[in-house]
Structures are given as structure tokens and as C-alpha cells.
Amino acid sequence: DVDLQATITEVRPDGNETFVQNGYMRASARKLSTDSDNIFKRPSTLLDPIPTFTEADARRMPRRKFVKVAIPLYYQGHAYRAGSRIRVTIAGPNGQQPVWSFGEPRPKTGTSKVAIRFRPKRPSVLVLPVIPGFEVPTELPPCPSLRNQPCRPYQPIVN
């Protein structure tokens, strides 16, 4: 089994990177609800994936095989301005949260090797809603100035 964290940041044209949101998913709990019988009492959708979180639906990760794992990114509201890029980082849970962090992000025993698919024929995807007809009323906010959204100089990651 593996715990996955997806972190979304805005890479701004001024060279800074702003935290937007993150989400977590234990891969064995990846089965999505098909009805309202879940913790949120509403059906799972493309923009709002809701796992069943039931023991009966838990499935081990298969060895050497890709499986779909939706990582919910709950309730983000962020205006991406022209010239910005959206960065998605997939990792194990770590201390990158702005307000709190996992107490022990490293497992006490064992290790996992996890591959994330990102090829053109079988890409990973990020699904975000777009609000039509909405104009962002301001320029980029100073870095840092957004509550609970830390900002730092952008540094590329090498895979």
C-alpha cells in the first residue's frame, strides 16, 4: 500500500511559486463511491471524487501494473492569472502543508517503489473547474500575502 499526496501550486511569472491546495489518498482506498452512501452523502463526480472508505472496497496495489487513483483536492478557490503555470507534485505525505503536517511521514518498516504515469498515450490528469465570464480584478498579490498560501521562489524539480 502507499499513501499519495498531490500538491497544486501556481508558478507565477514573477519567479515565485504559491501553494494552492493539496490532497491525500491511501491507494488501497481508491474505489470511488457511485452513490450518496458515503461520508459526504453525495455521489462522486469527476470534479469531486469521493472514495467509499469502506473496508470491503479496499484493494491492494497490484505489482508492476498501473491503476487509476483519484486524489481529491477539496474546495480550492484560486485565480490563476495570465502567464502563470499550474504545477502538480505527487509525493508521499510530507511536511509541506502550510499550517500542519503529518507527525511521522516515513513508514516504520518497508519501502515502496511507485511509478506515476505521464506519457502522452496514457497521461495523468488534473481536472479543475473553470468559471466562465469571471475576470480576476487584481494583479498578482505580493509574495507572501495570501492567508495559508505560502509563497517561495520557484525551483524546478528534476525527475
Query: Could you give the 3-state DSSP secondary structure of residue 21?
Result: strand
Query: What's the pLDDT at 107?
Result: 65
Asked if residues 45 and 28 have their Cβ atoms less than 8 Å apart, the reply is: no
3-class secondary structure, 130:
coil
* Mean per-residue pLDDT, 80-107: 74
Mean of the per-residue pLDDT values for the chain? 84
- The pLDDT of residue 2 is 84
Q: How confident is the model at residue 114 (pLDDT cuts 50, 70, 90)?
A: confident
Q: What does the pLDDT read at residue 13?
A: 94
Question: Has residue 27 got a pLDDT over 70?
Answer: yes
Dihedral angle sign, alpha carbons of residues 55, 62, 126, 97: positive
pLDDT grade, residue 115 (50/70/90)?
confident
pLDDT by residue (tens digit) across 54-84? 999 999 988 888 899 999 987 778 888 889 9
What is residue 159's predicted lDDT score, i.e. its pLDDT?
A: 64
Whole-number Å distance between alpha carbons of 111 and 104: 14
CATH class in words for 1-145? mainly beta
Look up the pTM and report it: 0.80
C-alpha dist (Å) from residue 150 to 14, 16, 97, 143: 15, 10, 9, 8
pLDDT category, 100, cuts 50, 70, 90? low
Lowest mean pLDDT among 93-97, 106-110, 146-150: 93-97
